[in-house]
Every structure is written in structure tokens, then in C-alpha cells.
A and B are shown apart, each in its own frame.
Chain A
Amino acid sequence: MLHAELAHAVGGIELDIHFDVPAGGCLALAGPSGAGKSTILRLLAGTAHPDRGRITNGDEVWVDTGRAVWWAPERRRCGYVFQDYALFPHLSAWRNVAYGLRSTPSSKRRESALSLLDQFGLSDLADAKPATLSGGERQRVALARALAPGPDVLLLDEPLSALDARTRASASRQLTATLGSLDIPVVLVTHEFNEAALLGDEIGVIDDGRIIQRGSASELAAAPASAFVADFAGAVVLTGTARADDGELTIVDLDGGGIACTTDRGTGRVALSVYPWEITISQAPGVADESAQNRLTAQITSITTVGNRVRLGLAAGQPLVSEVTGKAIHDLHLSIGREVTASWKATATRLVTL
């Protein structure tokens, strides 16, 4: 269990952050650029000193400003994947990975580094210098390097944002698999809600130096604590498998049941995204007399007023969120537990290949 309570002033922001991350858990701290997210990771890793605070990991007390406890970064055993990956430019890929293997006898270091590179599909590039690697390759070398010494905590700074859209899908799939196999606390920061939703078990939304809400992606989208979270949480994401093209529309079998169509193209594993305000609600069972192609039966799980809008959390095969007006709630007699039909247009549905 990683425990942090930090108070720190940086660039005009007063950070006041408290959180716990259990072993095997991944907390994604999401917030706009310039919210001090990278500073939080620096404070955890020990490359920056908090003004006040306490950080513990298991029985170890890393920082306690009240008792003048301070562990240097090299003692904390934090794997750190930097935003620009920070690979050592003068060292080959395998020497980058072997850099932290100080307790391994030098004769075994190359072997250990090569086997890690192999796990990340990089064995052919062991002798390549970072400058000759692609963005996705650098990201994997950085991850292998951070994991090589067997860290007690893993920190990831915007792990996917430096990648182009095409590389991102495969990189996020690999990263999800890697994170899933780890038995240590993971903290990642990102300015993209979708990245946080994809990689984190839990998301903490940071605004004005504080975690203003913490929960799963669907919880945050369904019941945002503030308009900021509502806007930031953005689109609903549904995963599924695309059927072979039928010519006009891509039909996707959603995980957990149901189908959805989109005018975007794609096959295999895909993620669909749709904005909550594109999803309309009608009394169940609905009749197909409207232009919306996508219809799912769902149960209302939460009703949250956000400004002049109302967010409905919906339980279907996968959680859905709809944003409607207060008048609609009244006219349709919507209440928690009601079964309704959620519908939206295929043209409002975006597709990303996973």
C-alpha cells in the first residue's frame, strides 16, 4: 500500500493531495495540463521535496516532513516512466534496461536485460541507440528499464501521449497487460480522461491542486461531482468486437451484450465512444420509429444534477451515461431503478481500433 499526503506549492498551484494505492492497484491521476501532475510523481519518486507531507510504502516511511524523514530517490525503488521516456542517449537499449540492475552480477546483466527486452518484443533492437528507435519502441524500452530492478512502486507520466494515434492503440494494449500482471502500487498521471479510463483501476480527477473526485471511469462519468469532472470525463467508452463490414455500417458486438453500429470503419477489437449528450432516453420498451440506429435497454442507476443538465448513470451490458434536461426527467418520470431505452445515432459514434 502506497500512502501519500502532500502539500506543495509549484508554479502558482497549491497542491494538496492525499491518496492510497493498494498493491496491484493502478490510480490514474487525471487533470488538465499544468495542474502539477508531474510534480506529484516527482514528489513520490523523491526528485522533489514536498513543502509538507508524508509518504509511506508498506512499512517504509519515505518522507515525513514533521519528523525530518527523507529517503533519497535511489533508496525508494520507484520505477519511473518519464513523459519523454528519458532514455540515456549514450547507451544502447539493453544498457538502458541494465542500468538499474546494480545487484545483478555484471556478467548476468546483459542476459537479464535481453530477456526483459524479449518480453517487450524488442530483442532485435538490443544494440540500438535510443535516437534510432521509434516512439513506441522507446516507450517499451523505458517501461522495461523501469521494471528491470523489480521496483516497489511504478510511476508513469503520460505514458501514451508522446505516441502517434496508430502506435497508441497497440501500446495501450501492451501497457494494460503489463500493468495487470504487476503486484505493486501503480500511479499514472495523464491529461486525457480516456487514457486514465483505459489504464487505471481508479481515476482521481485533479483540479486546482486537489483530487476533487475519485472513482472508476463509469462512476465519474455517471455521477460527476462537479461540472469540471463532467466535462473532463467526456465520452462514454464501450468496448466490443466489430463484425465483418456489411458495406454501409460497422456493426459491433458489445462486451456484456447488445450491439451498436457506427459509420466509422474497423474490425476486430474496438472501442466505441459517444458523448453523453448524444444519448437520448425513451420509455422502455422503445419502438424503432426514430433515426437512431443504436438502442440499448438499460436501468437508471444514478441521477446527478450538473449545472442546468442532469446526468443519468445507466446499467446496460456496460455502463452508459446520458445527459438530459431537468424537464425530461420530469416529463418521462425518470427515477433510479426505472428501465429505459437509451438510443443514439450511428453517425455520433466514433470507433477506435484496439
Chain B
Amino acid sequence: MIGRTWFRLVLGAALAATLMFLVLPVMAIFTHTAPGELINRLGDPTATDALRVSLETTSIAVAVIIVVGTPSAYLLATRSFRGRAVVITLVELPLVLPPAVAGIALLASLGPDGILGGVLGNTLVLDTAAVIVALTFVSAPFYLRQAQSSFEAVDRSLMEASRTLGSSEAASFARVAVPVALPGLVAGLALAWARALGEFGATLMFAGSFRGITQTAPLAIYDQFATDFPAALALSAILVAVSAGLLLAVKLIPGQKTLAGAAR
């Protein structure tokens, strides 16, 4: 009896320490400076510009990921072909790439001196488009992985039923595969969005940090933390709220079981 009580205490203490450690820093964002002061700081043009850039770039990146990534994931989920495993591994690689490496990789490929630099000219450098490229590169794999496993989970006989009822494969994709896989697709989308919103390293290296053009919210926080700590806190508070909202959205989607696999 004593033994069991002892073990239960250890478990409880471990969880309490874990919670403290994980929650305290997030709590501190909201409690370090008075709420009124935080809201004041949000009126600062640096903050509003950064939030605008973040909202625009992540929205466009996520839209590109949906449009191109959904059919790609469907293909990977439903076809077997030579080299499929290699393709899947290549698609997942950015998940495990250090952000600095991602930034260098983008510069080496699409930068002014990159292998495709000649084709693109200088259009990408230090432009909002460069931010979108960096965000897409790092966050697309999150969506692709989740979407692929969601499409794999769609019962083959559902697609067969749709075909025998007169729908082409393209129509069956739109009318059956996407609606049935939708909870998984939305979860993947939320993960990709959260990842894009927090992107820092690759964006800084590839797009730079210019206010109103390439300076996203995380870059603005970094820019300001030495000079204007409350402003950095205010922006951070916004990001915490948005990230928590996205996490909650994923948790509330019914029938989500593959979430853990998405970030593997």
C-alpha cells in the first residue's frame, strides 16, 4: 500500500513539474506586462505590418499547398509505382531539415546565384514572394503527409462504388475521396498553417527581414526583443492565441486519429 502511494506521488510530481515547465513561459507572455500596455503596443506600425505580412504570406502559402498538395497526396495514396517510397521520403525530407539548411537550400536553388536564379532573375530576392516560397517549402510536408494517410484511409470500395455509378475518377475524387478524407485534410491544413506561422530561420535567410515586405511576426519579435520588449511580447501573445486556436481546431475535428503520425 505504501509502495503504491509512493509511486503515485512520483507520477503526480513529474506531471506537475512538466506542466510548470511547459506552461509557465507561455503564461509569462500574458502576465509580464500589463494587458493594457500589450494592446497599446499592437497599434505600433511595426506590429501591424508584421501581422499583415504574416497573414498574407501564410494564407497564400497554405492555398498553394492545398491546390498542388491535395492531388499529389491523392496520387501517392492511391497509385503504386516504381520509386514511390523514394518520392515519399523526398517529400518528407523538409520535415527534418534544420531551418538554416532549408534557408541555404532555397538560396542555392532559387536565390540570385542559385541554379534556377538565372531563370527567375532577381524577382524573388527580398520580396514577399520569397517569404511565401520559404513558408511553402517548410510547411508543405506537414499537409502532404496527413493528406496522404487520410486518402489511404478512404475505403477502396467507396471509390469503386462511385465509378460504377457513372462518375469518372476525377469526379469520384471530388465527390467522394475529398469529402470522406476532409477531417484529415483540415487537420493537415491546420498543422501546415501553424508551422508556416512560426517559420523563422529559412525566411530570415532567404527573404530577409524588411518591415512591411518580408518581416513576418516571428521576425518582428526577434527584431524588437532587444529594443522594445513589450512590443515583442504583444506580438508573441497574438501568435500564442492563433497557434492555440489552430491546435484546438485540430483536436475538435471528429475522427482524427492520424495526427500523431503527421509530425513524425
A residues apposed to B, CB below 8 Å: 42, 45-47, 72-74, 76-80, 82-84, 86, 88-90, 99-100, 102, 145-146, 149
Contacts and interface: CB of A to CB of B under 8 A. Distances in A.
Given A45-B160, A80-B160, A149 B165 contact: yes
Contact of A86 (B160, B167, B168): B160
Interface of B: 155, 157-158, 160-168, 175-176, 179-180, 182
Contacts of A76: 164
B202 to A, nearest CB: 37
A72 B161 contact: no
B161 A80 contact: yes
Contacts of B157: 82-84, 86
B164 A99 contact: no
A86 B175 CA distance: 14
A149 B166 contact: yes
Main secondary structure of the interface of B (DSSP, over half): helix
Among A73, A82, A84, A99, max chain B CB count under 10 A is at A73
Contact of A88 (B163, B166, B168, B176): B176
Given A74-B168, A90-B182, A149-B165, 6 more contacts: A74-B165, A76-B164, A86-B158, A100-B166, A146-B165, A149-B166
Nearest to B172: A74
A47 B160 CA distance: 6
Contacts of A72: 163, 168
Contact of A89 (B160, B165, B180): B180
Contact of A74 (B164, B176, B180, B182): B164
B10 to A, nearest CB: 43
A2 to B, nearest CB: 15
Contacts of B165: 74, 99-100, 145-146, 149
Contacts of A77: 166
B180 A82 contact: no
B122 to A, nearest CB: 48
A88 B161 contact: yes
A73 B180 contact: no
B167 A74 contact: yes
B180 A88 contact: yes
Contact of A47 (B155, B163, B180): B163
Given A72-B168, A86-B157, A99 B162 contact: yes
B180 A90 contact: yes
Given A78-B164, A102-B166, A86 B180 contact: no
B60 to A, nearest CB: 29
Contact of A80 (B155, B164, B176, B180): B164
Contacts of A90: 179-180, 182
Please indicate which of the listed interface residues A84, A89, A149 has the most CB atoms of chain B within 10 Å of its own CB.
A89
A84 B161 CA distance: 11
Contacts of B164: 45-47, 73-74, 76, 78-80, 146
Point out which of B160, B164, B168 has the most chain A C-beta atoms below 10 A from its C-beta. Answer: B164
Nearest to A145: B165
A240 B175 CA distance: 47
A80 to B, nearest CB: 4
A151 to B, nearest CB: 8
A82 B166 contact: no
B155 to A, nearest CB: 7
Most chain A CB inside 10 Å of its own CB: which residue of B166, B175, B179: B166
Nearest to A102: B166
Contacts of A74: 163-168
Nearest to A75: B166
B132 to A, nearest CB: 32
14 contacts: A46-B164, A47-B163, A72-B163, A72-B168, A80-B160, A80-B164, A84-B155, A84-B157, A89-B180, A99-B165, A99-B167, A99-B175, A100-B166, A102-B166
A47 B164 CA distance: 8
Contacts of A86: 155, 157-158, 160-161
B259 to A, nearest CB: 20
Contacts of B158: 86, 88-89
Nearest to B161: A86
A347 B259 CA distance: 57
Contacts of B163: 45-47, 72-74
A89 B159 CA distance: 12
- The 4 closest A-B CB pairs, nearest first, are A100-B165, A86-B157, A73-B163, A80-B164
Contacts of A99: 162, 165, 167, 175
B23 to A, nearest CB: 38
A42 B160 CA distance: 9
Nearest to A103: B166
Contacts of A47: 160, 163-164
Nearest to A98: B165
A307 to B, nearest CB: 39
B53 to A, nearest CB: 37
A161 B175 CA distance: 28
Nearest to B164: A80
Nearest to A74: B166
Nearest to A142: B161
A42 B167 CA distance: 16
A38 to B, nearest CB: 9
A45, A72, A74, A99, most chain B CB atoms within 10 A: A74
